[in-house]
Amino acid sequence: MKIHLKFDYTQLTKKIIQEKLTDLGYKFNIIGFGEFNFLEKVPLAKMEELTAIFKEYGIDIVENQKSVLVQKIKDAIVEMVHTDKALNIKSSVYIAEKLNLNYTYLSNVFSEVTYTSIENFIIIQKIELAKNLMIKTSLNLTEISIQLNYSSVAHLSTQFKNTTGMTPSAFQKIIQKRREIAQKNN
């Protein structure tokens, strides 16, 4: 029996961080998504242990200020793409307001650290969400393009092909074929 899950990345990450810090007996307070303060001095050996534990969940402790800012930008983008919070606002405005910093500065730091642009990261996030919607829902391409705030299906299709190397229709055919194979095997 196949079961599909829907989950909130922000809530999941926050819960993992809280549980692991509590399990290790740390005193802390969570400031916001991806940020917390220790309320006591933590020895280097304990920090290395915590780093290893978080790494198992794909969570990295960021120490460089520019890397911290890039992670905040990525978090804002993921939140923007995966929620309905920014449907009618330009992404540059949303990110700048969310982080309370000039967008040009944010864009420059992001490019310097990641060697790609904020716009490319947004496209990748939107295409990943489009793929998930194609896999997990019965929405057609028009509905998906509207949900992801694309100007047209053609615009979504072009970005999808540029990002994945295949058209959305080809991707949907592969998914349909996999479903048929899975049904035959069950």
Give yes or no for a contact between 103 and 90, defined as CB atoms under 8 angstroms apart.
no
Q: Determine the average pLDDT of the residues in 40-54.
A: 82
What is the rounded distance in angstroms from the CA atom of residue 108 to the CA atom of residue 112?
6
Residue range 134-180, pLDDT digits in tens = 988 888 999 998 888 888 999 999 999 999 999 999 998 888 888 88
Average pLDDT in the chain: 85
What's the pTM value of the predicted model, to 2 decimals?
0.68
Residue 75: partners with Cβ closer than 8 Å, 6 or more residues away: 10, 33, 34
Q: How many other C-beta atoms lie within 10 A of the C-beta of residue 127? A: 21
**Range with the poorest average pLDDT among 55-59, 77-81, 97-101:** 55-59
pLDDT at 16: 84
Mean pLDDT value of segment 77-98:
82
Which long-range contacts (C-beta less than 8 Å, at least 24 apart) are formed by 47-52? 49/24, 50/20, 50/21, 50/24, 50/26
CA distances from 56 to 16, 32, 138, 162 (A): 11, 21, 34, 32
Work out the average pLDDT over 4-26: 79
- pLDDT, residue 74, reads 92
